[in-house]
Structure 1
Amino acid sequence: MEKKEIFSQVIHMEERIGTFHDELGELKEQLAMLIEENHSLALENQHLRKLLEEKEAKEPENGTQASSGGTKSVGEGYDNLARLYHEGFHICNMHYGSLRTNGDCLFCLSFLNQK
């Protein structure tokens, strides 16, 4: 009887270890997503702080001048995409918005080089 009990305990422990391994894999995936989201939010936060500093620096220079009515330049969308690419994000239709982890993306570069 002792050997059967020990064997059943080992089997039960093995099942629990398998369950723990699965749970650990799920936690690892969630952690990777949170790290990626945190990185992208940190980049966005850094960019927004830079824009805010630039805006605050320009306000005293402009003084009492009237604003231009909010018209945007033609290349502003292109500039935004170029900025996103240089911050480490894909701008191609295949992986748009995800982080570039393996260097430059040929699809993104071909999009940026279009005239």
Structure 2
Amino acid sequence: MQTLTAMIRELETRMQGLLNDLQKIKKQARLLAEENDKLREELARFYGKPLEENPAGEGLKELRDLYNRGFHICHGHFGRTRTGDCLFCEAFWSREREGSM
């Protein structure tokens, strides 16, 4: 049977490991948020409009245009080239149709 002191040390070690993992996850989340902001700015520049001037309805039209040009619009693969239909992209359009009814 472990002593109480040994159990506390082991718990501290595991907690430090979890804290390190949390720091790594926070850093990755920050990097992804920065990348997302850059991609939004590039997309707005691509369409020649400032980001704040794009109304929501026009944004959906632009997403449809991207999808029709062969790009993913789903969260997991956004902006990547599609080689065929994507269930996740299609699910997005299904939700949009249901929401607009």
Same fold (TM over 0.5): no
Greater length-normalized contact order (CA 8 Å, ≥ 6 residues apart) = 1
**Into which bin does the TM-score normalised by the smaller protein fall?**
0.3 to 0.5
Q: Give the helix-richer structure, 1 or 2.
A: 2
TM-score by length of 1: 0.41
